[in-house]
Amino acid sequence: MSDWIDVVDQDALADGEHVVIDVDGADVAIFKIDGEFFAIEDVCTHDGAEIASGELDGDEIICPRHGARFCVKTGAVKSPPAYEDIPCFPLRIENHRIQVRDDRWD
């Protein structure tokens, strides 16, 4: 089972902000939207772009290369050219710290 990775204090991110961290070799983007935190892999499934550098529109992130849209809460594709969802990661708050882990190989 993968370990929880300590990311940042939960008060360090304002709504609409994000941070990208390495979790067991995968770049993971942690977003704060409407006071909640979400973790998705920092990759557009269409062409491998760093998705976190795109524009956030509500709870959707827009790929900076070709405009594919994904739901930050679920990783689901919202518009082409992407057709494959982005992996999401488990996230928790422990002692006011955001923690995330990669459970894909557990």
pLDDT of residue 82: 94
* Tokens of residue 1, six digits: 């089972």
pLDDT at 1: 57
Domain map of the chain by residue range?
5-99
Q: What is the pLDDT of residue 28?
A: 96
pLDDT, tens digit, 9 for 90 and up, residues 58-79 = 999 999 999 999 999 999 999 9
Please give the backbone phi and psi of residue 37, each rounded to the nearest 5 degrees, phi first.
-110, 145
Find the mean pLDDT for residues 18-26.
91
**DSSP secondary structure letters along 6-73:** EEEETTSS-TT-EEEEEETTEEEEEEEETTEEEEEES--TTT---GGGSEEETTEEE-TTT--EEETT
- Four-way CATH pick for 5-99: 3.40.50.970, 2.102.10.10, 1.10.3720.10, 2.170.16.10: 2.102.10.10
Q: Which residue has the higher pLDDT, 103 or 17?
A: 17
Find out whether 82 and 21 touch, Cβ atoms under 8 Å. Answer: no
pLDDT tier at 48, thresholds 50, 70, 90: confident
Q: Give strand pairing partners of 30.
A: 19, 39
